[in-house]
Amino acid sequence: MLPKNSKPILVIDCSNLCYQAFFTMGDLSCDGMPVGVIYGFLWRIIKLAEKYNGTNKIYFVFDSQRSYRKKIYPEYKANRKTKPPIENIDELYYQIDQLRTEVLPDMGFKNIFRQAFYESDDIIAKIVQDTNKEQFVIVSSDNDLWQLLDYHVHIDDNKGELKTREWFLEFSGGLAPWFWAEAKAHAGCSSDFVIGIKGVGDKTALKYLREELKSGKAFDAIKAGEEQIKFNRPLVFLPFKGKNPIEYEISVDRITKRKIKNVFEKFKFKSMLEPLNLEKWSVYYA
């Protein structure tokens, strides 16, 4: 659990949070340009600071458009293309890029990370695994990140629940969080189109890893599918072991009231400019 009154470092899975904002605030516009994703994202950021005892330490992590995983498995995430197209999806991508290259830098945030061929999950994993001297809260509803849960790593699932190492131990029947990646290698991941062993879901995979599954169709299928499991491991384990190492540098934010106001005025976020709401951002001021 998080130590009482601690101010953890918040590590934001930005694409994940932007998708949520898109489906709740996507209709907002300013001078004919979509701004709902930006508006919803910024409101979430300040609410997270309030939720976690006024922490002002925050890292923003974005996906690369290119992927090492697709190099070894071209069908990776291919199923997402088969779903009915999302109306105005280009507006989402445009605003994500705006946040990364314009909005957050203009506000004075410095720890904004993206690296070619890596997903945000990989960079997040690298950051939280590099030290156990800090308390981290990863903000994401992506359950692939459960494998990172540790004494110093927690996950805010954007649904009101803080997932912890203790939570995972109970969920998995006593297995440590790193077993979640191994379970995914067995069961597959439908959201990423990683093909698992037929007839084996997450619960069955965890049961097998607990050595409680010793016979039957699922057991036989797992034994016969060892090559598939081996193939899946680099797709589901974090971080991906790519040709180039994951690199990032932690900097000091340079946020001021003037910078914050300039951004809100530019996008005509009138509610954010109200004195009480504007004051909430003072936690980040340099």
The whole-number pLDDT of residue 2 equals 85
Summarize the confidence of residues 103-111 as an average pLDDT.
Answer: 98
pLDDT over threshold 80, residue 70: yes
Residue appearing with tokens 């965890």: 206
Q: Pick the closest to residue 233 from 151, 154, 156, 178 (CA basis).
A: 178
> Any idea which fold 9-170+244-284 has?
Rossmann fold (3.40.50)
pLDDT at 173 (0 to 100): 97
pLDDT in tens, 8-19: 999 999 999 999
Burial per residue of 21-44, b for 16 or more beta-carbon CB atoms within 10 angstroms, e otherwise = bbeebbebeeeeebbbbbbbbbbb
- 77, two tokens: 């995430």
| DSSP type of residue 151 | T
Contact 126, 248 (CB under 8 A): yes
pTM: predicted TM-score of the whole model, two decimal places: 0.94
If you average pLDDT over every residue of the chain, what do you get?
93
Q: What is the mean pLDDT of residues 269-276?
A: 95
Nearest alpha carbon to residue 267 among 1, 9, 41, 12: 41
Percent of the chain with pLDDT over 70: 97
Distance CA 278, CA 286 (A): 15
Predicted pLDDT at 82: 44
**pLDDT at position 86:** 67
Gap between the Cα atoms of 228 and 206, Å rounded: 17
pLDDT digits (tens, 9 = 90+) for 237-272: 999 999 999 999 999 999 999 999 999 999 999 999
- pLDDT for residue 64: 94
The alpha carbon of 25 is separated from its chain's Cα centroid by a whole number of angstroms, namely 19
